[in-house]
Amino acid sequence: MYSIKMFGVREEEITIAQNWAAENNIKLSMTKEILTMDNLAEVNGFDGISLSQVGRLPDEIYPKLAQMGIKQLAQRSAGVDMYNLELAKENGIIITNVPSYSPESIAEFTVTTALELIRRTEKIRQRVASHDFSWEPIIRGRVLGNMTVAVIGTGRIGQITAKLFKGFGAKVVGYDLYPNKELTDILEYQDTLVDAVKQADVISLHMPAVKENYHAFDYAMFKNCKKDALLLNMARGSLVDTKALLQALDEGLLQGAGIDTYEYEAPYMPKDFSSKEITDELFLALINHPQVIYTPHIAYYTDEAVKNLVEGGLDATLEVLNTGDAKTRVN
């Protein structure tokens, strides 16, 4: 019987993991702590590891894990930017992810946030809470179906998002390094990112964060936006220069933003800071900005996604233990 250690376990994952372990005849041990150099000894005696890291795993951990006989690390998310993939490989450690656990969840949350911005629901609720039921332009909305939406990155999540926006009647334009011919019924690909941004009322980001698109949305890019454009970032924080975004909003270069991923979110996600101090002034400025709807990297967070993530991470762990490789290997 194989034994698997699961790190970073949240309460809601426990029953799903226990059921999986019973079905697959696996000895499972769980801890809510994430894996660090300090608790590395907890790995001793286990065959496989399932992780839910948010911050970067230190480089010195890979040779130590290899010495302990560890052959794989299964991340329970799609993003693997918290791992040094090359170094892991050099140490004989296979990194796997769960690439597609519920793209519908992120796509639906993207549209939800777009509609909240378009119909100004936050402001309406604030006014209702103070018993102000008056009608004024500050809470007047627009019709999504009359808008042009730019979907930037038309992979698993982007293409479902494009279909949903199209379903509202919006015109959808797309930008991707590798346009997908099968999507041409839904969207019109543009040759450049700037071409897509210039015509968009809603700009929705769904590309991975890589060196080439670091701060792709900087002050210069915001100058291409329509004055009443809305930016949605449900992808990765580093795609957007947050300081430039707040300046652009203040100067009226665009109208609003729905931000689910923030570049320096790692110390805060997913934690309760209600009685702790937030020292990141930029983060405070973002979450308190009146034209921003900020959500804590939660676009994926549905019943379906949580189940698929737990089972996907454990399936990948077992696959490596059984076969020495995995379909979801990323290094």
- Residue 289 annotated as catalytic: no
Q: Would you tell me how many other CB atoms lie within 10 Å of the CB of residue 40?
A: 16
To the nearest whole angstrom, how small is the minimum distance from the Cβ of residue 330 to ligand NAD?
11
Active-site residue (options: 76, 297, 311, 319): 297
Under 8 Å between Cβ of 233 and 239: yes
Are 229 and 203 in contact, with CB atoms under 8 Å apart?
yes
Question: Taking a C-beta distance cutoff of 8 angstroms, is the pair 66, 22 a contact?
Answer: no
Which parts of this chain interact with ligand NAD (CB under 6 A)?
A: 78-79, 106, 152-158, 175-178, 206-210, 212-213, 234-236, 260-261, 297, 299-300
Assess whether 12 carries a catalytic annotation.
no
Determine the Cα–Cα distance for residues 297 and 259; give it in Å rounded to an integer.
8
- Which of 63, 99 has the CB closer to ligand NAD? 99
- Residue bearing tokens 């372990």: 21
Report in angstroms how near the CB of residue 24 gets to ligand NAD at its nearest: 25
Q: How many residues does the chain have?
A: 331
Catalytic pick among 13, 116, 263, 265:
265
Closer to ligand NAD by CB, 22 or 85: give it: 85
Q: Considering 236, 263, 289, 319, which one is annotated as catalytic?
A: 236
Cβ atoms of residues 309 and 101 within 8 Å: yes
Would residue 104 show up in a list of annotated catalytic residues for this protein? no
Query: Shortest Cβ distance from residue 77 to ligand NAD (Å)?
Result: 7
Q: What is the rounded distance in angstroms from the CA atom of residue 253 to the CA atom of residue 270?
A: 31
Q: Tokens at residue 78, please?
A: 């799609």
Q: Which is nearer to ligand NAD, 76 or 236 (CB)?
A: 236
Q: Which residues contact 297 (CB under 8 A, 6 or more apart)?
A: 260, 261, 262, 265, 269, 270
Give the DSSP letter of residue 182.
Answer: G
Residue listed under structure tokens 């015109």? 171
Residue closer to ligand NAD by CB (options 289, 297) is: 297
CB of 171 to ligand NAD, least distance (A): 19
What's the CA gap between 199 and 173, in Å, rounded?
9
Smallest distance from the beta carbon of 4 to ligand NAD, in angstroms? 23
Nearer to ligand NAD, 46 or 301 (CB): 301
Q: Write out the catalytic residue numbers.
A: 236, 265, 297
